[in-house]
Structure 1
């Protein structure tokens, strides 16, 4: 098959970003390209039209390639549930949540077969496959079963492009060190290098390019500047990047986002970066809470464990205090479940302990029971209030089933296409809960919610910021930047020549 593996010297080296940009650049050249990541570890997932979970980045990369995301683009997805356990999803089917050692000994063969099968499937449909590695390919303690990097590259038998984030410093050591640690067969696989996130005049780094090429005998295919083109990130290191404190001015909306140990789909919050008068703070401890205008509890892969953690550090008490003050509060998926009255892990699907229960925040008149099977599906519906009617879209990923008692104080937030209620909203609009991920990616609805907060602060309404509607423009901008700063023609020849 024809393709390319993109490796990074570290996590957050820019692999996902570069693969996304390459997919758009190649698609714009008329090449049928598909993204691929053999094994991904992330709680930020994407739900395909068929209802399968894949890594969020592969969903975005498929959009960049102008094709429909498929489960074959990320056949193995690991979703961490604790320090030692992760849910294993193989071609969309959950295989349980083994410990890391058990996964490597009992699940690896099946996972490898899924990678082989999915690569074969994609190679029949597309001209080239652009593959993304994970972390670093030079983790010497994991090399024998490094499915995401070395094993995928070996199965596909494709050349590799090595990238490093120069902002983190030490790029010469990280580039040469990675190459020196790779087994010889994989070191020979590296046919090009990319310097990522360079700031300043690229001409000032020309001697750096010359040094890398002279000391590695591998061409540098480009120096990519730090680009102001925001894309959804799935790497856990990117969660902190959501901190966008633009000002402490009273004209700003201050949103406190609660940091959860096993936070999932934090890309739900990406659109706030485009709102000039919105500052987002990641709150990790009670002392950081401050006096926010709004609090958002995001999703989590381990609702009860994360809830008990928030209780232990005093965050839940702070949320209750601010609810009484009239602060706007939103819970998404696991955050929504926490805001109810009772959490029941009947089958152990949330905590691993059958029958475990926990008392929720008591904001919503509802209880949540965690079931054995998970709901994963794309979702469409409507939001209706007074004369306002907005179309809403997103996706669901949860095992919880709820019993909600609507009444005078709380009504359904949305109705789906079958006119069934989804979520909950208080009559004063200040407390909202929903299972719908990417809720805030609905530009008009996000504007409605923010304008409620603006008016409560005595501020004027602002027009809708079209963050999601402009995604195609951002993808084209990224593809154009890749064309401008990388030698794409050289990269295409690299893929065509393979390892010859």
Structure 2
């Protein structure tokens, strides 16, 4: 197979970003390229055109490569449901939930077959494949049955570039230590090293580059400067702090509950590019404060995270905030928590049958968890009962097990009308309380502007202009590519890709 694999000395070293950049560079040169990550562990997912679920990073990488995302680009997605177990999404569909030990012992051979199938499909359809590893390739306790690093490079027979995060500190030890723990055959695959997230004058690291090359006999292919605001969405919660590190004080403050099993937090990322909006993550009741609006995001374990809110006192803070004129929007799992009761008869959310949990009781509905997960892209518009101005169209996707049934004494008060005239969500108190299953909601520019202007009006601030994210989506990425290019030996990277397997 023609391609290359990006591995890292640690998690969050920048593998996803480098993979995305490589996909973009090759696509810009007219090469038909695809991303690939055999096994992804993330609750931040992406729904393909056919309604399949893959890791969000691979979906964004496919967009950067100017191609349609498919399950072949991420055949195995692990979605953590607790500290001990994860749901296996195989070829875009839920398979079963296994503990880490059961997955390692019972799934390995099936995983190898799945990876071989995917690589064969990608090799047939594309000129090159840019692969991404996970964590570190030298986790010794897991290495003999891993499905995502050197074993995959071996199956695909591609060279490897090792990415190290200099911002963490200890970069020389991390590079040398990683290489020392590889077997001789694995080490031969490593054809380049990239130093990522460098701050300051790169000339100050010239001696460091020389030392690495002399010590490892592997070329350094780039010392990449730290790039903020590149709009490559994060893969999982490890990158959350980095993405939302800006502590600017703004006219509109949004608080977001940082749930233990938060999923699809990229729903919040469009607000990063609104000049008068700041985002504050809330983990403790004492830090709740007085935000202009509260967002309760999605979660892979709704009842678990609802119990967390109760245990920490955040649940009562949310209720009190709403009753004191606060504005709340719950998305997917956040919507479910706002209901009166959550019922998990089959144990699909908790793993325990006949589980019931009282919700925050702000939305007059009950949520029932079912065995069949709904994964679909959808379009719709604001329901006429919202009495909001304009004909605002929205598109997004749904990923959820539960469905919410309304208290007939109250009525539904729907938020949206989706395809096939299906009413969805909850809207009340002139938008002070919204619940919806629609992920990607705030990526809709007109709706985001309308909602923010409701908050501005409430504070007697002038309305803001619409920020058109669809125009900005890859502008920032292309700017990042331009910034990186002078510091990356791109021609050498292409030589490694083209020359692999041709050595005599």
Q: TM-score, normalised by structure 1?
A: 0.97
Contact 1:409-1:427 within 8 A present in 2 as well: no
SS in 2 for 1:428: helix
After TM superposition, give the deviation of residue 309 of structure 1 in Å.
1.2
Deviations 1:90-109 (A, max 9, x none): 11232211110000111111
What is residue 290 of structure 1 aligned with on the other side?
289
SS at match of 2:130: strand
User: Which residues of structure 1 form unaligned runs of 5+?
Assistant: none
Paired residues, what number? Answer: 498
Question: Hey, what's the Cα distance between the residues in 1 that align with 2:246 and 2:499?
Answer: 47
Match of 1:140 in 2: 140
Whether the 8 Å contact between 1:410 and 1:427 is mirrored in structure 2 is: no
Q: CA deviation at 1:283?
A: 0.7
Q: Which residue of 2 aligns with 1:450?
A: 452
Q: Tell me the equivalent position of 1:94.
A: 94
User: Hey, what does 2:402 align to over in structure 1?
Assistant: 400
User: Helix, strand or coil: the match of 2:40?
Assistant: strand
Q: Quote how far apart the aligned CAs of 1:119 are.
A: 0.5
Superposed, 1:374-393 pairs within 5 Å as: 374-384=373-383, 385-393=387-395
Q: Which residue of 2 aligns with 1:63?
A: 63
For residues 269 and 459 of structure 1, what CA distance do their matches in structure 2 show? 22
Partner in structure 2 of residue 253 of structure 1: 252
Is 1:12 paired with 2:12?
Answer: yes
Aligned 8 A contact 1:443 1:469 in 2: no
**Do the aligned residues in 1 keep the contact of 2:191 with 2:218 (CA within 8 Å)?**
yes
Match of 2:485 in 1: 483
Contact 2:251 2:277 in 1 (8 A): yes
Other structure's SS at 1:69 match: coil
1:375 CA displacement: 0.4
The change in CA–CA distance for 1:94 and 1:386 in structure 2 (over 3 A counts) is closer
Give 3-state SS (helix, strand or coil) of 1:267's partner.
helix
Q: Does 1:422 align with 2:431?
A: no
1:268 and 2:267 matched: yes
Displacement of 1:404 after TM fit? 2.4
Instruction: State the secondary structure of the residue aligned to 2:148.
Output: helix
Aligned to 1:34: 34
Deviation string 1:243-277 (CA, Å, 9 cap, x unpaired) is: 455444xx521211111111100111111111121
Alignment of 1:78-227 (within 5 A): 78-227=78-227
Q: Give, in whole Å, the separation in 2 of the partners of 1:308 and 1:290.
A: 21
C-alpha separation in 2, matches of 1:221 and 1:86: 36
For CA contacts below 8 A with separation 6 or more, give which structure has more relative contact order: 1
Is this contact kept in 2: 1:242–1:282, CA < 8 A?
no
Structure 2 stretches lacking a partner, 5+ long? none
Superposed, 1:304-343 pairs within 5 Å as 304-343=303-342
Q: CA deviation at 1:167?
A: 1.1
* 8 A Cα contact 1:86 1:98, kept in partner: yes
- Cα shift at 1:406: 7.8
In structure 2, distance between residues paired with 1:406 and 1:472: 46
Q: Deviations over 1:86-142 (max 9, x none)?
A: 001111232211110000111111111111100110000111100000011111111
Q: State the Cα deviation string for residues 286-329 of structure 1 (Å, max 9, x = none).
A: 11111111111110011011101111110000000000011110
The residue aligned with 1:437 is 439
Looking at structure 1, the residues matched to 93 and 350 of structure 2 have their Cα atoms a distance apart, in angstroms, of: 19
Give yes or no for contact 1:7–1:132 (8 Å, CA) kept in 2.
yes
CA contact (8 A) 1:44 1:234 kept: yes
Give the match's secondary structure for 1:476.
helix
1:239, 1:269 → 2: CA distance? 11
Taking structure 1 as reference, are residues 294 and 410 closer, same or farther at Cα in structure 2, changes over 3 Å only?
A: farther
The alignment yields a C-alpha RMSD, in angstroms, of 1.5
Distance (whole Å) between structure 1 residues aligned to residue 159 and residue 293 of structure 2: 48
State the shift of 1:479 in Å. 3.3
Cα-to-partner distance string for 1:55-113 (whole Å, 9 max, x where unaligned): 00000000000000000000110000000100011112322111100001111111111
